């Protein structure tokens, strides 16, 4: 029963242009295991998405978990297996070749690592031993010791894969002859096609005197087509597109089917219009298929510097395609510098987040919550700020979506939760009236049990009453797991606030299934509701509903006197917003609170 569907946030998609080594190191910094970091850095080569690569490589961490063989070795075996492993039990020649390659890897790895191949020897500690593990975490040994094993492995792998490609081309193995049903082999085929494509493109870049454009495109809502007409029909469409591309790409134009419905064309051009008319012609051709109306999204990157890394050019076309997908007005988008900025931003955050924790650059700001009737502070919300020495203040909306994707939000939230508890304790010690502080609990925490433990430990350690630390959870489409976790938190005695009510999928079912104590009405919701009579009526009903359900109600983002008056009129007393106060450093809030306490005593 959805009552409001106003807006829901689009997740940012990222493109990355990194070498295997850079990618692997980045993943290691994001706290993936070395086997995941290594295999993850090759995911692209196998046409795998990162999640799948992580899942596959997780099971290769077994030896490592016992403190035994280094995860880089097992994951490298996986890379080699995917790239050159044998698939036909009768093919002895291939089997021997594959075995030789794996032996060669281990020999070279052992030599370059000075004979050390076991996880416990590389780290100097045994990860299967909890005490050792605590030291590994505390001293950050993984980030100190593992990069070498990762980098050695990747160097050897890249070298061996290049050799393998030479071997394949010398033996004139026609990749098209390989049976389709063999999945591994399909992956190998894909990888080799990609290398082949990149070689051609590189040659074009070096030899052509004209400008070069990268066009990446895909089919909008391809998944829905697949689901409604069946995968076979989906495959027919893809084959049809490949056929059309074969006709359209001759001599100086190259194309590749990167994965599923994503294609890329690289072409020479003299004027920008040529690329657009190429796309328009292609679009007409593609739309000839069985009267199905296919909507495509095209991204174009026009190469400015031919010496730039090829992957970077591909990524820029990918970014433009993703932007085209979100654009309702046009389906062709040119890459522009703004995209680059957002990519740099992501890189910056990923590279600096760890240091930001250790250097205490994250800070807790507090925004007061007021009672309209009493004109008094009744609590506060803790909001994170990142004060970077060069970049200045970075606001949560610019980094939280990224650190939620890579899981780093856990660390940031734990830090803010602790700061909030310390603040509550400080108020208690000063003898203030109790002032509850709410903290944001990212959805990432609600996937496992760690947060319950962390929160309970914090409460115990600081010796503060549980009811003073309130938890804000963003409402979301019905998610059983989140509901379950909320129940557990509730059982533990925490107060739960439903954040951003009315901003996305506000379903009454969520209220039914999740034991919230307070509803926080989203800023947009208030704005939308206040502008019309109908909206006001809905708002009144929500207030009445909260009352009947004995739920607390607080309006967020209150900016004007009119809003305050209206909210008061319909019976919503608790508010938070710039009209009263902006989020502020904790000592400022402390002084504000102190002033209020003094006034109360005088009265
Ligand atoms: P939120 O939880 O909905 O927090 C309210 C946001 O609205 C805050 O932005 C606050 O500064 C802003 N705000 C408050 N009153 C007004 C107003 O009257 N007008 C306008 N225009 N804005 C107002 P902020 O601090 O930038 O945080 C943005 C979002 O980032 C938060 O939305 C929350 O989802 C997330 N966030 C912030 N801190 C944390 C944190 O420590 N952990 C987690 N997991 N998320 C956080
Ligand atoms: Ca919040
Ligand atoms: Ca909110």
Residue 393 exposed, middle or buried by CB count within 10 Å (0-12, 13-18, 19+): exposed
Range with lowest mean pLDDT among 47-61, 140-154, 170-184: 170-184
| Structure confidence at residue 296 (pLDDT) | 94
Compute the distance from residue 493 Cα to the ligand 3 centre, in Å: 22
| Structure confidence at residue 65 (pLDDT) | 63
Nearest-CA residue for atom 13 of ligand 1: 557
Distance (Å, rounded) from C-alpha 476 to C-alpha 500?
9
Rounded to 5°, angle at Cα 56 from 54 and 58: 65
- For the CA of 441, the closest atom of ligand 1 is 44
Compute the distance from residue 499 Cα to the ligand 3 centre, in Å: 5
Ligand closest to 502 (CA) is 3
Nearest-CA residue for atom 37 of ligand 1: 383
CA atoms within a 13 Å half-sphere pointing along the CA-CB vector of 162: 7
Q: Is the CB of 395 under 6 A from ligand 1?
A: yes
Nearest-CA residue for atom 38 of ligand 1: 383
- For the CA of 472, the closest atom of ligand 1 is 2
- Kindly tell me the sign of the dihedral angle through the C-alpha atoms of 534, 539, 542, 544: negative
Answer whether residue 395 shows pLDDT above 80. yes
- Percent of the chain scoring above 90 in pLDDT: 50
- For the CA of 500, the closest atom of ligand 1 is 3
Distance (Å, rounded) from C-alpha 229 to C-alpha 231?
7
| Structure confidence at residue 303 (pLDDT) | 95
Terminus-to-terminus CA distance in the chain, angstroms? 48
Q: Is the CB of 486 under 6 A from ligand 1?
A: no
Q: How many residues does the chain have?
A: 603
Who's near 79: CB < 8 A, 6+ residues apart? 38, 39, 42, 157, 161
Q: Is the CB of 383 under 6 A from ligand 1?
A: yes
In CATH, which superfamily holds the domain spanning 413-602? EAL domain (3.20.20.450)
- Angstrom distances, CA of residue 202 to CA of 95, 298, 299, 306, 334: 33, 22, 20, 9, 21
Q: Is the CB of 557 under 6 A from ligand 1?
A: yes
- All structural domains of the chain with their residue ranges: 1-179, 208-336, 413-602
Compute the distance from residue 30 Cα to the ligand 2 centre, in Å: 25
Contact 136, 123 (CB under 8 A): yes
Rounded to 5°, angle at Cα 219 from 213 and 221: 145
Could you report the per-residue pLDDT of 545-568, keeping only the tens digit for each? Answer: 999 989 999 999 999 999 999 999
Compute the distance from residue 516 Cα to the ligand 2 centre, in Å: 14
Nearest-CA residue for atom 3 of ligand 1: 500
Q: Is the CB of 68 under 6 A from ligand 1?
A: no
Q: Is the CB of 583 under 6 A from ligand 1?
A: yes
Q: Is the CB of 442 under 6 A from ligand 1?
A: yes
In CATH, which superfamily holds the domain spanning 208-336? Reverse transcriptase/Diguanylate cyclase domain (3.30.70.270)
| Structure confidence at residue 15 (pLDDT) | 35
Residue 563: count other Cβ atoms within 10 Å of its Cβ. 19
Nearest-CA residue for atom 35 of ligand 1: 396
Compute the distance from residue 519 Cα to the ligand 1 centre, in Å: 15
| Structure confidence at residue 60 (pLDDT) | 63
**Helical axes 409-429 vs 337-358, angle rounded to 10°:** 50
- Does 413-602 match 208-336 at the fold level? no
Answer whether residue 176 shows pLDDT above 70. no
Contact 252, 268 (CB under 8 A): yes
Contacts made by residues 92-95, CB under 8 angstroms, sequence distance 24+: none
Cα Rg for the chain, rounded, in angstroms?
29
| Structure confidence at residue 30 (pLDDT) | 83
Could you report the per-residue pLDDT of 208-223, keeping only the tens digit for each? Answer: 999 999 999 999 989 8
Residue 18: count other Cβ atoms within 10 Å of its Cβ. 17
Compute the distance from residue 32 Cα to the ligand 1 centre, in Å: 29
Q: Is the CB of 578 under 6 A from ligand 1?
A: yes
Distance (Å, rounded) from C-alpha 176 to C-alpha 283?
27
Residue 561 exposed, middle or buried by CB count within 10 Å (0-12, 13-18, 19+): exposed
| Structure confidence at residue 173 (pLDDT) | 52
Q: Is the CB of 559 under 6 A from ligand 1?
A: yes
Q: Give 106's pLDDT tier (boundaries 50, 70, 90).
A: very high
Question: In this structure, what token pair is assigned to residue 408?
Answer: 């780093």
Distance (Å, rounded) from C-alpha 39 to C-alpha 55?
10
Chain-wide mean pLDDT for the chain?
Answer: 86
The mean pLDDT of 587-591, rounded to a whole number, is: 97
Q: Is the CB of 438 under 6 A from ligand 1?
A: no
| Structure confidence at residue 479 (pLDDT) | 65
Compute the distance from residue 340 Cα to the ligand 1 centre, in Å: 26
Could you report the per-residue pLDDT of 355-368, keeping only the tens digit for each? Answer: 999 999 999 999 99
Who's near 339: CB < 8 A, 6+ residues apart? 316, 319, 320, 323
Distance (Å, rounded) from C-alpha 340 to C-alpha 573?
45
Answer whether residue 594 shows pLDDT above 70. yes
Q: Is the CB of 497 under 6 A from ligand 1?
A: no
- For the CA of 579, the closest atom of ligand 1 is 18
Compute the distance from residue 367 Cα to the ligand 1 centre, in Å: 9
Question: In this structure, what token pair is assigned to residue 425?
Answer: 């304790």
């Amino acid at each position: 029963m959805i009552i409001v569907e106003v807006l829901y946030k689009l997740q940012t998609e990222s493109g990355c242009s990194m070498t295997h080594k850079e990618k692997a190191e980045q993943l290691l910094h994001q706290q993936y295991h070395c086997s995941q970091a290594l295999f993850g850095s090759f995911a692209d080569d196998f046409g795998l998405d990162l999640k799948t690569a992580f899942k596959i490589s997780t099971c290769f961490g077994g030896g490592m978990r016992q403190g035994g063989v280094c995860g880089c070795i097992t994951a490298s075996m996986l890379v080699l297996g995917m790239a050159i492993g044998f698939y036909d039990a009768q093919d002895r020649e291939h089997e021997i070749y594959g075995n030789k390659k794996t032996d060669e890897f281990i020999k070279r790895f052992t030599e370059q690592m000075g004979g050390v191949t076991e996880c416990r020897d590389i780290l100097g500690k045994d990860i299967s031993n909890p005490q050792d593990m605590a030291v590994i975490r505390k001293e950050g040994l993984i980030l100190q010791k593992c990069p070498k094993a990762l980098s050695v492995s990747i160097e050897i792998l890249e070298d061996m894969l290049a050799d393998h490609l030479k071997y394949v081309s010398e033996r004139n193995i026609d990749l098209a002859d390989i049976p389709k049903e063999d999945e591994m082999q399909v992956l190998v085929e894909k990888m080799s096609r990609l290398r082949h494509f990149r070689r051609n493109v590189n040659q074009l870049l070096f030899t052509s005197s004209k400008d070069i454009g990268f066009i990446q495109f895909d089919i909008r809502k391809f998944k829905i087509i697949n689901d409604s007409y069946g995968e076979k029909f989906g495959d027919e469409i893809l084959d049809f597109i490949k056929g059309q591309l074969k006709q359209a790409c001759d001599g100086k134009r190259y194309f590749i089917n990167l994965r599923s419905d994503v294609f890329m064309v690289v072409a020479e051009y003299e004027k920008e219009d040529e690329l657009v008319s190429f796309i328009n012609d292609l679009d007409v051709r593609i739309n000839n298929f069985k009267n199905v109306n296919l909507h495509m999204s095209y991204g174009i990157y026009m190469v400015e510097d031919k010496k730039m890394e090829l992957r970077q050019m591909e990524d820029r076309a990918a970014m433009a395609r993703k932007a085209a997908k979100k654009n309702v007005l046009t389906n062709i988008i040119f890459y522009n510098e703004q995209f680059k900025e957002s990519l740099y931003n992501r890189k910056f955050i990923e590279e600096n987040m760890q240091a930001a924790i250790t250097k205490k650059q994250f800070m807790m700001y507090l925004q007061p919550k007021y009672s309209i009737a009493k004109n008094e502070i009744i609590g506060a919300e803790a909001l994170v700020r990142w004060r970077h020495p060069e970049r200045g203040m970075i606001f949560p909306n610019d980094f939280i979506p990224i650190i939620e994707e890579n899981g780093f939000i856990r660390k940031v939230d734990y830090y803010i939760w602790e700061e909030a508890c310390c603040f509550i304790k400080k108020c208690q010690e000063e003898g203030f009236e109790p002032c509850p502080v709410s903290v944001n609990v990212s959805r990432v925490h609600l996937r496992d049990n760690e947060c319950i433990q962390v929160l309970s430990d914090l409460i115990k350690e600081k010796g503060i009453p549980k009811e003073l630390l309130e938890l804000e959870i963003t409402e979301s489409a019905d998610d059983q797991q989140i509901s379950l976790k909320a129940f557990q938190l509730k059982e533990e005695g925490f107060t739960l606030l439903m954040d951003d009510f009315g901003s996305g999928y506000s379903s009454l079912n969520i209220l039914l299934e999740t034991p919230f104590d307070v509803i926080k009405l989203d800023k947009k919701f208030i704005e939308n509701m206040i502008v019309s009579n109908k909206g006001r009526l809905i708002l009144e009903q929500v207030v009445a509903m909260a009352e009947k359900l004995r739920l607390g109600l607080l309006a967020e983002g209150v900016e004007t006197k009119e809003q305050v008056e209206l909210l008061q009129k319909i019976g919503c007393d608790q508010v938070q917003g710039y009209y009263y106060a902006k989020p502020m450093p904790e000592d400022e809030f402390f002084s504000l609170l102190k002033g209020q306490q003094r006034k109360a005593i005088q009265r």
